[in-house]
Every structure is written in structure tokens, then in C-alpha cells.
Amino acid sequence: MSQRLDHIAFIMDGNGRWAKKRLLSRSMGHKAGVKRIKEIILSCFEDYGIHTCSLYCFSTENWNRPKDEIETLFQLLKTFFEEEIDFFKEKGVQIRVLGFLEDERIPSDVLSTIKKAVQETKDCTKNVFNVLFNYGARQEILEATRKLAKKAVEGKVDPERLTLSDFSGMLFTKESSDVDLLIRTSGEERLSNCLLYQCAYAEFVFTPCYWPDFDKKELEKCIREFESRNRRFGAIKG
């Protein structure tokens, strides 16, 4: 691979429309979507040597959806983790959950399962799987600012000397590198509050493919597209 591709992020989108097209319920769409996760994440790690995969699973704005849809999605994610923890562990994949977990709206069984997945894989060192759950980038940035402001009030940091790395160290992604490639499925071309800070220099690839149809072939197309880009980072290259 000619370009650095350490961190790939996915906005998995289009589960609902995939289902609608087949006259199925939105829940069936989420079910088909969750089934796709393992293959794609693993292909990133094993076929492309990518170190970190981030997957946008539930946004802070997704609470605006009907209660039963949220409940179904949560239960599907819970089952996914229950079933796959051992697999990820064996593969050396560290699961991290990025988002606001101290939220009473998250059912306790779902919370304990995802916490268990994090705990059980904490010593894995080969790859990182960031699960963005109850995640919102603006809220993340606000929270980081709040933490630094508190430190400043306590006299622990000098506001004049704050660096970008001090700031990024306060984000949920503090241990991950910046996003190199962000892929959004379903044809929407927006970020929807996903990793705003971390995508400052990311390449974006938008595909019309609905997430439940997004397979290794589609992934390959997106990565090829990424490969064809000329990343300049403000300099003059190529």
C-alpha cells in the first residue's frame, strides 16, 4: 500500500433503506447490518494491514428514533459482542467503546456486555476496534474543553501553553491516530457528528451501497479510491 492507512472509520448507514427496499422492517435491516460488521472489520485488519477500525454504531442524535428501534439495535449489538468477544480476543483485537457510557438511557444489560468486551480484550495488542456508541463529536469536543478548563482553574495547566496533543489527549480517541479514511455507506454525504476533530485530514469515500450490502468487494473499491488520492497535508506533492 502506497499511502499510510492506519486508521479507517465507517459510518454504517442505510440499514433502514435496505430493509424498506425489501419490504422488511427496519429491525431486519439492522439485523442484516450487524451481521456485516465482523467480515468488514476483519478484512481491514487482515487484508489491508490497517491497525485501527472505528465503527459509528449509535450517535447521540439517534436517541431521536422510536424507542423500539433503539431497543432492537441495542439488543443486536449486545448479542454481537456476546458472540464475538472470544473471536476478537483470539485475533488480538482490542475493543474500545467510545462514547458517553454514563447515560441512564442505556440499558444496564447492554452496558455490562460492552464493558465486558472492553475488559476482556484490554490486553490485546494487534489491532484496535473502536466502537462508537452513544457518540457525538461535538459533545466529545465540549467535554474535552470542559476537562481542560477545570485543569486550568485548578492551576494544573497553563492555557497559554496548551498544545494540540494536550487537546486530542482529552478526546475519546486519545490512544488512536487521526482517521486516514472515512467511508460512509448509503449515499449520504455528511459526517452526522462523527469524529469531527479526528477527520481534519481524512479522505472521505461515499458509496451508494447500503451497509447490509457492503462486502469485501465494496471495501476494496473504497480502498482503491483512497489509494488514488493525493494527500498533501497542506504541502505540495505529486
> Could you give the residue numbers annotated as active site?
13, 62
Note the Cα 3 to chain centre separation in Å.
21
Report if residue 147 touches ligand IPE, rule: CB under 6 A.
Answer: no
At residue 26's C-alpha, the angle toward residues 20 and 30, to 5°, is: 115
Q: How far is the CB of 57 from ligand IPE (least distance, A)?
A: 5
Sign of CA dihedral 26, 32, 35, 37: negative
* Count of other CB atoms within 10 angstroms of residue 189: 8
**Binding-residue pattern over the window 3 to 42 for ligand IPE, x denoting contact by CB under 6 A:** --------xxxxxxx---------------x---------
Q: Quick one: which segment of 6-14, 135-143, 164-172, 205-213 binds Mg ion (CB under 5 A)?
A: 6-14
Report if residue 136 touches ligand IPE, rule: CB under 6 A.
Answer: no
Q: Quick one: which segment of 10-18, 73-81, 199-207, 229-237 binds Mg ion (CB under 5 A)?
A: 10-18
Identify the CA nearest to 9 among candidates 132, 192, 104, 162.
Answer: 132
Report if residue 57 touches ligand IPE, rule: CB under 6 A.
Answer: yes
Q: What are phi and psi of 188, to 5 degrees?
A: -70, 140
Q: How far is the CB of 228 from Mg ion (least distance, A)?
A: 27
Residue showing cell 447500503: 210
58 binds, among Mg ion, ligand IPE, none (CB under 5 to 8 A by kind): ligand IPE
Note the Cα 173 to chain centre separation in Å.
10
Q: Which is nearer to Mg ion, 13 or 140 (CB)?
A: 13
C-alpha neighbours within 13 Å on the C-beta side of residue 82: 11
Residues that bind ligand IPE (CB under 6 A): 11-17, 33, 56-59, 62, 73, 186, 188, 190, 192
